[in-house]
Structure 1
Amino acid sequence: MQLALRVLRVDSRSRLSAVLTAAGVAVATALILFLATLPNATDARLKRSAWQEGAAEPHGVTMVTRDFFQNETVMRLDVTGAADPANPAPKYPGPGQVLLSPRLADLAERNPSHDLADRFQGEVIGTIDEQWLKFPEQLVAVVGHPPGTLDPEEARYSGYAADTSDFLLRFMAGVGIVLLAIPSMVLVASAARLTAARRERRLAALRLAGATPGQVIGVVTAETAVAAVVGTVAGLLLSWPLRYLGVMVPWGGGTWLISDFTPSPVTVALVGLLIPTMVVLAAVLGLRRVVRAPLGAAMSHARKRPKAWRLLSLVAVAGFFLFGLYTARETGGLGVLLASLAAVLLSASIVGPWLTGMLGSLFASMWRKPSVLLAGRRLRSDPQAAYRSVSGIVLAVFVGSMALTLLPSFETFAGGGRSFKDSVLFVDVPTASAAELEQRVKDQLASSGSAATVVRAEKVVLEAPDGSSASGLVMSCQDAAATTRFGVGACAGPPAIRADAGQQLPNTGLKVKSSPPVEATDPQVQEISLPDGVPVRPLGSQDPELGGSVLIDPALVPAFTEHGESTLAINPVNEADREKVRTALATALPGESFHSRELRLHEQQTMLGDLKRITAIGLGLTALLAGASAAITAASSVVDRRRTFSALIAAGTPVRMLGRALRTEAALPAMVATIGAGAAGTAVAAGIFTLFSGDTPVVLSGWLLAPVVIGMVVAVIAASSSGPMLRRIGAERISEE
């Protein structure tokens, strides 16, 4: 420790390296600690909102439905009795009383009552504390009812499962830890290597003077530990204000509570111990040459060139990654997959130096331009150091290629939904009570002054004599034209079946079966045989998502009134009428969740927006880390070769030519490594996409070339940043070296 502190006190270059190392460690610590809290933050959200689930408990009944206001989800809980003591929840209101979340209460006060407040039909007695909300902006209403007024069986099927975005955030957090931790460590390593050659010569002199290997390792450990510990403490302190930035990043429709990003003491201890340990370990592992051959290190003898066996690591990590995908698909666990992803990133540091050495040999033997010859000799003589200058950029290109593969592929999931038009609201009800519920909705719409129309359709399955079947709706051609996305065409003529143009339906032997509710424990169906000779007409131009659909005229199945499920579709007349319609529906059919394709598309766009936002932040951080590590490595390359550059300048080599050589030795490995990283990132992203897509193909676009091109440009710019230091060497007295 005394030697380490003395070196830092008297050697300005070692002091600069220590400062940069501490800064890199601080950045790495803050980022990793913040990312490590994301899974816990997601769990905290789910734990707070666990009470927002339907249940029939001995203490009471809780029925949960999803409502919408201005395309935002409103969680409505109709309750009787008290909350389950085993599941912490806010105190439930009594009959005729209502609790609202703060933002929902504000919206109800600022908007006309027939648009929102009338849906809850009770006295608002207070607001729900944010500790019971999934996120501070969540819209939640708890409506109290007298005992016995809610059906326990319906309550069992209400509620909602964990949001897909919660699993996605966990996955993104794990990937983010891997993808940002390794570039952060590359930045730390780049800063630590700023005076690597000078340190190596100093330690070699100590070894030749009689110092034991243990003493040399102890000196490096102390010197590195000073910077690592200071940087770790600074990073732990920096992570505290970083939480306040994290809570402002929306996810899943809302922001966060500051407590969500409070790491546990165990997490803080692990990060605080592991990061400086890894930094010190990396520095100690770099002492192999000094410990084994101090004379060679002191004389700066050439290092051994990497062997071709390094290519076998690509086969090994590819197999490991495929095993990680299989494990994640079969068990849902992400640990093995994230470990394999880390192995893929680390394999670049194994294969990269070999490729760099081969590239240097090629250009040194075939090229005659001085700057390229100098660059080729450098790549061939010390490929590890030459590749180190672009290693951070390679990781950034890998991450960028993954993002530009996954995001367009995820966008293909957008769309879908039922066959109704975007603005049409619909709800599924039992066929036996569909007529009564339809009339109730019409009466409520009329009393509220809304001119919306109500259409009833039966959900059925059409079976052909050959055993083939297709899902369909029983509704008139005119109603279908008004409420669905079907291209029904002209409605004149006798009752008919309208089917997709690709379907070949016979006009004899057709049967229609009712479609039972999904949650039916003992499904019963009603079967009706259609008369022979029924006209089969094609559905015209329509949304491709509706392929295989069938539309059956009600006149063909007049007795279809018993078992099965029907759909009530409500078509608002205009945009201004929409919230009034939703209020009328919530009043007429309390406990029912209404849906629309418009809301489905809005939720999908919200999730895609979250993904793009998180990806942009991650790519920005990765690019900054990669650019910083490349610039520091380029500077350390010049510092390490001060003697070489001084000798070249003394021999008459122009400083401008040496600058071109530096840019060339950065561009050549960057060109090959970034292309490989781009291909690897695309392949890994395609594998990860299979966890979410099933058989949906991955989307490849020309934008995949952007990270490769940007990576090469950044490598050249980073190499150019060492120009001032090179000119400074040219102005110094050569005798100093």
Structure 2
Amino acid sequence: MNTFSMAWRLLRGGGRRGMLGSILTLAAVALVTALLLFSVAGNLAFAERADHTSWRLPAKEGLNPEVVGEVPDDPTAIQAVTVDNAGGEEFTHVDLAATGDGKPPIPPGMDHFPKPGEVWASPAMAALIDKLPEERLADRFPGKVTGELGDEALINDADLVVIVGHKPGDVAMTADRYGQNESPTGIVSFESNRVSDTYVAYMGLMAVATVLMAVPLLVFGGAAARLTVARRDQRLASLRLIGATPGQVVKLTVAEAMITAAIGAVAGAAIYFAATPALARIPIDGAGWRVTELMPGPLWVAATLLLVPLLVGLSAVIGLRRVVVSPLGVARRHTPPGLRAIRLLVLVVLMVAFLAMAFGMFGNLGGIGAILLLVLMGGTFLAINLVGPWVVSIIGRITAAMARRPSTLLAGRRLVDDPRSAWRTVAGVALTGFVAGFIALLAPQSIGETDHIGIEITVSDSQRQDVTTVLDKHLPDASVDEATDENEKVEYLTTKAPKGEIAVVDELRTALSAKVPNADVVVSYDEDAEGMRTFADIRTGILVVLSVSLLIAMVSAAISGASAVLDRRQTYALLHLSGTPMKTLNAARRTETLIPLTIMGGGSIATGVLLATPFISAVSLSTSGAVALGATVVLGLAGVLAASALSRPLLRSVMFNAAPRPD
């Protein structure tokens, strides 16, 4: 009989409660797999959206060619890009002209290079052009929309993009751009390998969110392999005592864990794909996602389905070290040796290293520094899980020493005897505290209203009179300050345009596009709108990360609580036979959960807050972070208490059943 056949027989022969333990493990693995696929898909989806911004950013001289590509010596086309605004909506205006020196590249989402006078627009942009009066938007272009851009050119379904064809000598193709706009640049293709600053920031935030979600998932996945560990310990210890070798025990452990994990991983993948249409409705950057964007692809799915069972199998082996070393100790229920304080030292070292790098003590390391920060943050997060059982064992000793009631004494002794099991019950909520503490200080403040519109216009010195003429016509009562910098650029600042006159500003922009097509117009309400969108996206990200963390925490508490009852069923039955009332056992269970939860949860929150302190100067503080933190604490505590209540019927069942196990 091979190892997997034996493991399958052990799984089937475990009886009703043995099957319940396997189902708990399967459910935990399914949740881990589904959320891990969500995390992977999120990173891939942001990367795909970022790729869709690359074609709009031509190569630039003086930058790293490996990052942005090289400016060609013999371009076949000229590209210029302007970030414009109409009706309070920001859109991207791309001007293109063929040089005549060769076949120009075809832009993404089009079937040919635009001819002079052609106007191509995304569906959302075409709808905005139709919605607004011509003098506010349509008059900025040489004619009607002649083509619709395909998905290859768009970030999302709400993306506002317009492409206009020109002749090489047109002013739009020769005048320098200012600010965040792109001056006319020679190109031979639309593959510049540049990414918009917005999506660089989004991908960075997604990387942080991935760490905050992935670490609890890894901890929960490892814990899933050790659910009902006492039942497995005792059964495999019996096999050791009757002659099984350590290698055979390890193989059986891995086979049993991986069979359960493989089934759970497949179930988790099915759950994720079924939930994808709902997940696609999460709005980021003004729109939800295409369902295809959230599909990780066959290789990523296969890698996940392989990785999760391997992780579970490895964790199961680590959890059974004492079976291999000392089966008699397991059979006699010998208390394992105490945990070492070096776990705390590891946490402190990682925290100090993270803070030192975050505060810039090692200088600016660029992308490598960002990766190191993420690694150190993830390591610190994992170290909390490493420290957890050690702290729980100390809490148990103190609780037992100070006990004045039977329930408190039972709780303290239980914490000392098996701190890892007690930690697994509260680990999810404690780690969620780290997430909530980290983001509590980083929740941005919403932008307040202003009673005027500030307009800043940057042009060349030679265009000063054209801008003054347009301003006098469209904003005759606005106060204007002029300043010329060393590059002979003129900045106009108006401060008396009323807040409600967005239409007037749109008409001003349209008039400027006719006389000064390269003018960089920055309006205060544009920045307000961009800030509000950023605020909404960060708030959405915070809610998603906290929701995932709380889901992991609550499911972890429920499954670990039920598993702990199954692990201790013989102990509970013997306590009942010796006269211990169920009320005392329930009180002991609450005590051994709430005390570690309070101490470790508070410590995790403090650690998260401490690691966030280097970044708080870059954002505006608000009460929303404190609200999120308070809600997390309340929901986490409620989830643990609910999980304890759900396992009471199971406790009653095992207390009144002292029959021998079928395995």
Give TM-score scaled by structure 1 length.
0.78
Alignment equivalent of 2:322, drawn from 275, 289, 310: 289
Letter in 1 for 2:372: V
Larger Rg: 1
Cα offsets for 1:656-696 (capped at 9, x unmatched): 11111101110111111011101001011223557x56xx9
DSSP 3-state at the match of 1:669: helix
Deviates more, 1:53-62 or 1:264-273: 53-62
Letter of the structure 1 residue corresponding to residue 336 of structure 2: R
Q: Find the residue that maps to 1:621 and give its secondary structure.
A: helix
CA contact (8 A) 1:317 1:340 kept: yes
Amino acid aligned to 1:104: M
Write the distance in 1 (CA, Å) between the matches of 2:611 and 2:220.
Answer: 24
What pairs up with 1:534-545 in 2 under 5 angstroms? none
* Residue identity (%): 33
Match of 2:188 in 1: none
Partner in structure 1 of residue 228 of structure 2: 195
Residue type at the aligned position of 1:679: A
Superposed displacement of residue 345, structure 1: 1.8
Asked if 1:154 corresponds to 2:190, the answer is: no
Whether 1:403 and 2:439 are equivalent positions in the alignment is yes
The answer to whether structure 1 residue 435 and structure 2 residue 465 are counterparts is yes
For residue 721 of structure 1, what is the aligned residue in structure 2?
A: 646
* Matching of residue 604 in structure 1 with residue 531 in structure 2: yes
How many angstroms does 1:290 deviate by? Answer: 0.6
How far residue 84 of structure 1 moved from its aligned partner, in angstroms, is 4.8
Q: Secondary structure at the match of 1:253?
A: coil
Q: CA offset at residue 191 of structure 1?
A: 4.0
The Cα shift of 1:700 comes to: 11
Q: Hey, what does 1:17 align to over in structure 2?
A: 21
Do 1:62 and 1:155's aligned partners in 2 also have CA atoms closer than 8 Å?
no
What is the alpha-carbon distance in structure 1 between the residues aligned to residue 388 and residue 224 of structure 2? 20
Name the structure 2 match of 1:40.
44
| Residues 699 and 288 of structure 1, relative CA distance in 2, 3 Å threshold | same
How does 1:197-346 map onto structure 2 within 5 Å? 197-322=230-355, 325=358, 329-333=364-368, 334-346=370-382
- Cα displacement string for residues 71-130 of structure 1 (whole angstroms, at most 9, x for unaligned residues): 211111233227853975733432222111111112222333233222213132111112
In structure 1, the partner of 2:94 is: 77
Provide the rounded CA distance (Å) in 2 between the counterparts of 1:110 and 1:429.
Answer: 29
Quote the residue 1:502 is aligned against. none
- Alignment check: 8 A CA contact 1:389 1:629 kept: yes
Structure 1 residues 127, 716: CA separation in 2 closer, same or farther (over 3 Å shift)? same
Q: Show the counterpart of 1:462.
A: none
TM-aligned CA distance change 1:137 to 1:698, over 3 Å: closer
Q: Hey, what's the Cα distance between the residues in 2 that align with 1:233 and 1:580?
A: 57
Q: Is the 8 A contact 1:65 1:76 kept in 2?
A: yes
Q: Is the 8 A contact 2:445 2:621 kept in 1?
A: no
Which of 418, 433, 438 does residue 382 from structure 1 map onto?
Answer: 418
Question: Which position in structure 2 is the counterpart of 1:464?
Answer: none
> C-alpha displacement at 1:281, in angstroms?
0.2
Matched residues in 1 for 2:594 and 2:23: separation?
A: 28
Q: Helix, strand or coil for the counterpart of 1:244?
A: helix
Q: What code does the residue aligned with 1:439 have?
A: T
When structure 1 is superposed on structure 2, of 248-257 and 575-584 the one drifting more is 575-584
Deviation at 1:390, TM superposition (A): 0.9
Letter of the structure 2 residue corresponding to residue 642 of structure 1: R
Once the two structures are superposed, the pairs formed by residues 510-589 of structure 1 within 5 Å of their partners are 514-516=484-486, 520=487, 563=488, 565-567=490-492, 569=494, 571=497, 574-575=501-502, 577-589=504-516
CA distance in 2, matches of 1:102, 1:454: 36
Letter in 1 for 2:646: S
One-letter identity of the residue aligned with 1:321: F
Partner residue in 2 for 1:595: 522
Which residue is 1:125 aligned to? 146
Which amino acid in the other structure matches residue 18 of structure 2? S
CA contact (8 A) 2:87 2:502 kept: no
Which segment drifts farther, 327-336 or 58-67?
Answer: 327-336
Give the counterpart letter for 1:27 in structure 2: L
The structure-2 alpha-carbon separation of the partners of 1:673 and 1:240, relative to structure 1 and needing over 3 Å to count, comes to same
Deviations 1:354-410 (A, max 9, x none): 221221211211221221121111112222222221111111111111121211xx4
| Counterpart for residue 5 of structure 2 | 2
Task: Give, in whole Å, the separation in 2 of the partners of 1:671 and 1:567.
Answer: 58
Return closer, same or farther for 1:358/1:716 CA change in 2, 3 Å cut-off.
same
Structure 2 residue aligned with 1:111, among 132, 141, 144?
Answer: 132
The verdict on how the C-alpha distance between 1:61 and 1:191 changes in structure 2, with shifts beyond 3 A counting, is closer
Gaps of 5+ in 1: 446-450, 460-513, 521-562
1:623 pairs, out of 534, 550, 569, with 550
Contact 1:194 1:635 in 2 (8 A): no
> What is the rounded CA distance, in whole Å, between the counterparts of 1:328 and 1:258 in structure 2?
41
User: Which secondary structure state, in structure 2, belongs to the residue aligned with residue 595 of structure 1?
Assistant: strand
CA contact (8 A) 2:95 2:172 kept: no
Q: Structure 1 residue 188: deviation in Å?
A: 3.5
Describe the shift of the 1:406–1:568 C-alpha distance in structure 2 as closer, same or farther (beyond 3 A).
closer
Rounded Cα–Cα distance in structure 2 between residues aligned with 1:643 and 1:257: 52
1:212 shift after superposition: 0.4
Query: Quick one: distance in 2 between partners of 1:646 and 1:230?
Result: 32
Give the secondary-structure state (helix, strand or coil) at the position aligned to 2:80.
Answer: strand
Distance 1:715 1:354 in 2: 21
Amino acid in the other structure paired with 2:481: A
Q: Secondary structure at the match of 2:453?
A: coil
Using the alignment, how far apart are the partners of 1:565 and 1:645 within structure 2? 82
594-603 or 238-247, which deviates more: 238-247
Measure, in 1, the Cα distance between the counterparts of 2:87 and 2:171: 28
> 2:182 is aligned with what amino acid?
G
Shift of 1:135: 1.9
The equivalent residue for 1:351 is 387
Contact kept, 8 Å, 2:574 with 2:658, in 1: the verdict is: no
The one-letter code sitting in structure 2 at the alignment partner of 1:332 is G
Out of 148-157 and 130-139, give the one that drifted further: 148-157
Whole-angstrom CA distance in 2 between matches of 1:734 and 1:234:
33
Cα gap change, 1:123/1:642 in structure 2, threshold over 3 Å: closer, same or farther? closer
Query: Which residue does 2:85 correspond to in 1?
Result: 68
Question: Which residue pairs with 1:490 in the alignment?
Answer: none
The Cα shift of 1:274 comes to 2.1
* 2:171 counterpart letter in structure 1: L
Distance 1:441 1:697, change over 3 A: closer
Measure, in 2, the Cα distance between the counterparts of 1:226 and 1:603: 50
Q: Is the 8 A contact 2:399 2:408 kept in 1?
A: yes
Whole-angstrom distance in 1 between the partners of 2:621 and 2:154: 38
Q: Match of 1:180, as an amino acid?
A: M
Shift of 1:709: 5.1
Partner in structure 2 of residue 494 of structure 1: none
587 and 86 in structure 1: CA distance in 2 versus 1, 3 angstrom threshold: closer
| Inter-partner Cα distance in structure 2 for 1:733 and 1:440 | 91
**Runs (5+) with no aligned partner, structure 2:** 60-70, 184-193
State the Cα distance separating 1:132 from its structure 2 match: 0.8
Distance 1:440 1:54, change over 3 A: farther
Q: Match for residue 659 of structure 1?
A: 586
Q: Is the 8 A contact 1:97 1:122 kept in 2?
A: yes
Which amino acid in the other structure matches residue 425 of structure 1? I
Q: Distance in 2 between matches of 1:453 and 1:78?
A: 33
* Structure 2 equivalent of residue 503 of structure 1: none
Distance in 2 between the 1:225 and 1:430 partners?
68
- Partner of 1:594: helix, strand, or coil? strand
State the TM-score, normalized to the length of structure 2: 0.86
C-alpha contact (below 8 Å) 1:51/1:88 kept by paired residues: yes
8 Å Cα contact 1:51/1:89 also seen in 2: no
Cα 1:348–1:618 change in 2 (3 A) is same
* 1:13 aligned counterpart, secondary structure: helix
d(CA) in 2 for partners of 1:15, 1:730:
18
